[in-house]
A and B are shown apart, each in its own frame.
Chain A
Amino acid sequence: MTRNNIKDLILEIIKDIDEDADFATLQSELPLRDQLDLDSMDFLDIVMELRKRHKLQIPEEDYPQLASLDSCVNYLEPMLKNV
Chain B
Amino acid sequence: MNSNQQRIVITGIGLAAPGADNLKDFREQLLTGTSAIKEIDLRYFGPAAAGICTFDETRYRKKKENKRGTRAGCLGVYCAHEAMADAALDIGYYDRSRIGVYVGLTEHGTVETENEIFNISQYNYDVNYWTHHHNPRTVLNNPPGEITMSLGITGPHYAIGAACAAGNASLIQGVQMLRLGEVDMALAGGISESTGSFGIFASFKAQGALGEAEDPRMACRPFDMARNGIVVSEGGAIYVMERLEKALERGARIYGEIAGYCINSDARDFVLPYGKRQAECMQQALHRAGLQPADIDIINTHATGTRQGDIEECKAIRQVFGEAPSTYINNTKSIIGHAMGAAGVLELAGNLPSFEDNKVHPTINISNLDPECALPNMVINKPVQIPSVSTILNNSFGMVGVNSVIIVKKYKK
Report A's interface with B, CB cutoff 8 A.
17-20, 37, 41, 44-45, 48, 51-52, 57
Partner of B67, one of A17, A37, A44: A17
Asked if residues A41 and B133 are in contact (CB atoms below 8 Å), the reply is: yes
Alpha-carbon gap, A44 to B130, bound state (A): 12
Asked if residues B129 and A17 are in contact (CB atoms below 8 Å), the reply is: no
Asked if residues B64 and A18 are in contact (CB atoms below 8 Å), the reply is: yes
Q: Mark B57-74, 1 if CB is under 8 A from A, else 0.
A: 000001110011000000
Q: Mark B95-135, 1 if CB is under 8 A from A, else 0.
A: 00000000000000000000000000001000011011100
Closest to A44 in B: B132
Residue contacts A-B, CB under 8 angstroms, 14 given: A17-B67, A18-B62, A18-B64, A19-B64, A20-B62, A20-B63, A20-B64, A37-B64, A41-B68, A41-B132, A48-B129, A48-B131, A51-B129, A57-B128
Asked if residues A17 and B64 are in contact (CB atoms below 8 Å), the reply is: yes
In the assembled complex, how far is the CB of residue B387 from the closest CB belonging to chain A, in whole angstroms?
A: 54
Known contacts A19-B63, A19-B64: A52-B123 contact under CB 8 Å = yes
In the assembled complex, how far is the CB of residue B139 from the closest CB belonging to chain A, in whole angstroms?
A: 15
Closest to A48 in B: B131
B62 CB contacts on chain A under 8 angstroms: 18, 20, 37
Alpha-carbon gap, A44 to B134, bound state (A): 12
Closest to A16 in B: B67
A18 CB contacts on chain B under 8 angstroms: 62-64
B67 CB contacts on chain A under 8 angstroms: 17
Alpha-carbon gap, A48 to B116, bound state (A): 13
Alpha-carbon gap, A71 to B75, bound state (A): 39
Asked if residues B132 and A48 are in contact (CB atoms below 8 Å), the reply is: yes
In the assembled complex, how far is the CB of residue A56 from the closest CB belonging to chain B, in whole angstroms?
A: 11
A52 CB contacts on chain B under 8 angstroms: 123, 129
In the assembled complex, how far is the CB of residue A55 from the closest CB belonging to chain B, in whole angstroms?
A: 10
Asked if residues A51 and B64 are in contact (CB atoms below 8 Å), the reply is: no
In the assembled complex, how far is the CB of residue B136 from the closest CB belonging to chain A, in whole angstroms?
A: 8
In the assembled complex, how far is the CB of residue B138 from the closest CB belonging to chain A, in whole angstroms?
A: 15
B68 CB contacts on chain A under 8 angstroms: 41
B132 CB contacts on chain A under 8 angstroms: 41, 44-45, 48
B131 CB contacts on chain A under 8 angstroms: 48
